[in-house]
Amino acid sequence: MIPYSTQTIDEADIQAVSDVLRSGWLTQGPAIERFEKSIADYCGVRHAVAVSSATAGLHLAALAIGLEAGKLLWTSPNTFVASANCARYCGAQVDFVDIDPRTLNMSVSRLQEKLESCRRNGKPLPDVIVPVHFGGVPCELQKMALLAEEYGFHILEDAAHALSARFQEEKIGNSMYSRATVLSFHAVKIITAAEGGMVLTNDDTFAAHVRSLRSHGITRDPQIMTTLPDGGWYYQQVALGYHYRMTDMQAALAVSQLHRIEEFRAARQRLAAKYHKAFGSLDLSWQEVPPNSESAWHLFVIRVPQEKRKRIFNQMRDAGIGVNVHYIPVHLQPYYRDLGFEPGNFPEAEQYYREAISLPIYPNLSDNDQQKVIAFVQNELLS
């Protein structure tokens, strides 16, 4: 089976993990610090806080922003459920903003319309917007930041797909336009720690807050304690935190992977260019990358005529080509239907979903295998 995505592990990665196993330090330790520093340097951001997953990172970032019952988060319906669930963990409400059918990201003009309409009609305005850089294509962050200023919401970027992407020449993750950015290191993402996530921010207090929450809200820093330490063993729990730590084994794997990130990016870009060239004359469209951006090419998504989608998907799967569909619109999940969302609420995301197929793209996809994928799609859409 050719998968739609998979990790790229080499001997250096294996060595890095074995080194940790031999070092005697398995849980959060020196490799975490190295990883946090490497990511902060790579992205050009002040603080990087490693956590057990992007889902955990979104939860902690939402808490640090102050989401709670009575507050409101808006995100894109075309995303993984975690982008919305982080609000629910905090007891806050969720709503969505429909996508731009070309970039497949949250549409800034729809966002603006929805904000204006809420203000006009006295409906609650969002406290947080979570733009998702879908497939690795950056959202219009600058325009969103202007709206954030005007309407007083925070931006929390879900960059699970977008490590190595660029917006106006700057790396996604620098959090220049947002309160924080969250990365994922799940196996299929741009680089992997097997599982893991990272919260990036330029805000010192925010970073310290997330750092505390990832480990039970416990501190050993006398400066933060409410009393003098009782002795050398002493710690205090000063907030209700969680156990969301990453291990040193995971961090060592990710540091090793990060050394090859530009290589990964170039490989993905080359594969994408080959798809573009091969599909130019077919009855399909693909995700557009705005001219001010560079995609991380986490996904290569095509839109085919909706009456052909299921047949093409099934035939490709039967032929050993691991196509996938990203994403089932979040508001149509039974959990969100129970909260009152319905088919027809976000028509662009729903129409896109009926036509979507994610084709294989990952650094080690061979020319031969990619050629098989291309030949299959050409055959289906010419006939």
Ligand X SMILES: *Cc1c(COP(=O)(O)O)cnc(C)c1O
- Options 34, 143, 166, 186; binder of ligand X; rule CB under 6 A: 186
With contacts defined by CB under 6 A, name the span among 53-61, 88-96, 108-116, 253-261 that binds ligand X.
53-61
Structure tokens at 377: 């799609």
Strand boundaries in 210-253, DSSP class E: 218-219, 236-237
User: 154-158 and 128-130 as β-strands: parallel, antiparallel, unpaired?
Assistant: parallel
Under rule CB under 6 A, residue 192 binds ligand X: no
Residue 45 to residue 11: CA distance in whole angstroms = 30
* Contact map string, positions 300 to 339, toward ligand X, x by CB under 6 A: ----------------------------------------
- By beta-carbon proximity to ligand X, the closer residue of 2 and 160 is 160
C-alpha Rg value of the chain to the nearest Å: 21
Q: Which residues pair with 94 in a beta bridge?
A: 73
Among 197, 329, 360, 363, binds ligand X (CB under 6 A): 197
Chosen residue from 5, 53, 75, 105 binding ligand X by CB under 6 A: 53
Cβ(156)–Cβ(58) below 8 Å? yes
Asked if residue 76 binds ligand X (CB under 6 A), the reply is: no
Piece of 74-82, 217-225, 355-363, 369-377 that binds ligand X (CB under 6 A)? 74-82
Under the binding rule (CB under 6 A), the answer on residue 161 touching ligand X is yes
Q: Is 116 helix (H, G, I), strand (E, B) or coil?
A: helix
Determine if 184 is a binding residue for ligand X (CB under 6 A): yes
Binding range to ligand X, per CB under 6 A, among 140-148, 154-162, 212-220, 241-249: 154-162
Q: How far is the CB of 381 from ligand X (least distance, A)?
A: 27
Count of residues binding ligand X (CB under 6 A)?
A: 14
Among 7, 75, 78, 83, binds ligand X (CB under 6 A): 83
Binding residue for ligand X (CB under 6 A) from 17, 82, 349, 356? 82
Tokens of 339: 């909260």
In contact, 302 and 373? CB cutoff 8 Å: no
Member of 13, 158, 248, 294 binding ligand X (CB under 6 A): 158
Interface with ligand X includes 284 (CB under 6 A)?
no
Q: To the nearest whole angstrom, how small is the minimum distance from the Cβ of residue 214 to ligand X? A: 14
Beta strand pairing status for 170-171 and 218-219?
unpaired
SS3 content of the chain, % helix, strand, coil (to 5): 40, 15, 45
Torsion of CA 79, 80, 84, 88, to 10 degrees: 170
The number of residues making up the chain comes to 383
Query: Where would I find the H helices in 152-289?
Result: 204-213, 248-258, 261-279
Interface with ligand X includes 296 (CB under 6 A)?
no
Among 17, 35, 40, 55, binds ligand X (CB under 6 A): 55
Euclidean distance between CA atoms 189 and 251, whole angstroms: 15
The one among 45, 84, 132, 299 contacting ligand X by CB under 6 A = 132
Q: Which is nearer to ligand X, 45 or 254 (CB)?
A: 254
How far is the CA of 221 from the CAs of 33, 64, 165, 228, 237, in angstroms? 18, 20, 37, 10, 11
Indicate which single residue of 4, 80, 244, 300 sits in contact with ligand X (rule: CB under 6 A): 80
The nearer residue to ligand X, 140 or 279, going by C-beta atoms, is: 140
Q: Which of the ranges 30-38, 47-55, 116-124, 305-313 carries the binding residues for ligand X, by CB under 6 A? A: 47-55
Rounded-to-integer distance, Cα 381 and Cα 42, Å: 41
- Under the criterion CB under 6 A, does residue 79 sit at the interface with ligand X? yes
Hey, what amino acid is at 330? V
CA distance 47 to 206: 9
- Binding region for ligand X (CB under 6 A): 53-55, 79-80, 82-83, 132, 158, 160-161, 184, 186, 197
